[in-house]
Amino acid sequence: MISLWWSFTLTAIGVTGLILVYRSQSLIGPCIGLAVQALWIAYTIATRQWWFLASAFAYGGANIYGLTKRRKAADRCTPST
């Protein structure tokens, strides 16, 4: 059985990603958010707690949305030659 500290560690990584999403305009926050969702999916499979899949896909979708919005905003700010 996987110990409880995995849940806390994954949650801490996810919260770190969220903080970086709101505190900076770089892509690192959403990228951390996507990476931690892959870890949550692995955790879901390992523990057979299938309801975590719904949250992993929801948060992953939100991070993908954030990445696309940031890229579009960056493209608008970049002068074309």
Question: How high is the pLDDT of residue 22?
Answer: 78
Containing domain of residue 43, as a range? 26-72
Mean pLDDT of 18-44: 85
Kindly state whether residue 39 falls inside one of the protein's structural domains.
Answer: yes
User: Which pair of structure tokens corresponds to residue 70?
Assistant: 């940031």
Token pair 């690192």: residue: 28
19 within some domain: no
Q: What is the mean pLDDT of the chain?
A: 84
Predicted TM-score (pTM) of the model is: 0.74
Are the CB atoms for 67 and 35 separated by under 8 Å? no
For residue 60, the tally of other CB atoms under 10 A from its CB is 19
Whether the pLDDT of residue 79 is over 80: the answer is no
How far is residue 27 from each of residues 3, 31, 80, measured CA to CA in Å? Answer: 31, 6, 21
Does some domain include residue 14? no
In a domain, 3, yes or no: no
Given a cut of 90, whether residue 24 has pLDDT beyond it is no
Domain-located, residue 33: yes
